[in-house]
């Protein structure tokens, strides 16, 4: 059994819904999941996890939401070499930078030495369609497979 962290920032609940779908899939595979909002998460605790999933909605024209900024800044001081990680988030295609927060999180994780093990999950608004839900579940399975632990 692996210990997986799911940290997220969600204002309207869309990114939290994605986080819950990921949590359910990872737990159903028999792994321990800690899920917490980024603004409450201490970056010093990241080293305690086998896998790290970080998510945020994109604010405005491609920015991180304010409630993720402190975590993002603190993350810059971490050494995550060898940690397996991936990013997810929600956004709105009305804006020119769709789900740019996912890219920002991936870049920061890489800068800290983490191995990004799967392409970031980007969902328009809430994961309400069957296609979106299946995409979230497939993302979780891919993440677990890349950790070399069972996804089923």
Mind listing the pLDDT tens digit for each residue in 53-73?
999 999 988 999 999 999 999
- 3-state secondary structure (DSSP) of residue 35: strand
Judged against a pLDDT cut of 90, whether residue 149 lies above it is answered with: no
Q: Find the helix or strand (DSSP H, E) in which 143 lies.
A: helix 130-146
| This model's pTM is above 0.75 | yes
The residue with greater pLDDT, 148 or 104, is: 104
pLDDT at position 152, please?
A: 46
Q: Cα 16–30–127 angle (5° rounding)?
A: 25
For residue range 6-56, what is the model confidence (pLDDT) as tens digits?
999 999 999 999 999 999 999 999 999 999 999 999 999 999 999 999 999
Closest Cα partner for 138 from 124, 152, 125?
152
Tally DSSP H helices, then E strands, for the chain.
Answer: 4, 6
pLDDT at position 148, please?
A: 79
For residue range 103-128, what is the model confidence (pLDDT) as tens digits?
999 999 999 999 999 999 999 999 99
Other beta carbons within 10 Å of 34 = 14
For residue range 62-109, what is the model confidence (pLDDT) as tens digits?
999 999 999 999 999 999 999 999 999 999 999 999 999 999 999 999
């Amino acid at each position: 059994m692996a210990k997986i962290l799911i940290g997220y920032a969600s204002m309207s609940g869309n990114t939290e819904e994605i986080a819950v779908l990921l949590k359910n899939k990872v737990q159903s595979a028999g792994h321990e999941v800690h899920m917490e909002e980024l603004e409450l998460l201490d970056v010093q605790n990241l080293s305690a996890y086998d896998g790290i999933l970080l998510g945020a909605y994109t604010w405005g024209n491609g920015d991180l939401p304010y409630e993720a900024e402190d975590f993002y800044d603190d993350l810059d001081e971490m050494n995550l070499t060898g940690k397996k990680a991936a990013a997810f988030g929600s956004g709105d295609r009305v804006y020119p930078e769709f789900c740019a927060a996912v890219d920002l999180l991936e870049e920061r994780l890489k800068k800290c030495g983490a191995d990004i093990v799967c392409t970031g999950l980007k969902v328009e608004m809430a994961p309400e369609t069957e296609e979106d839900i299946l995409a979230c579940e497939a993302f979780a399975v891919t993440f677990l497979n890349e950790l070399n632990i069972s996804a089923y």
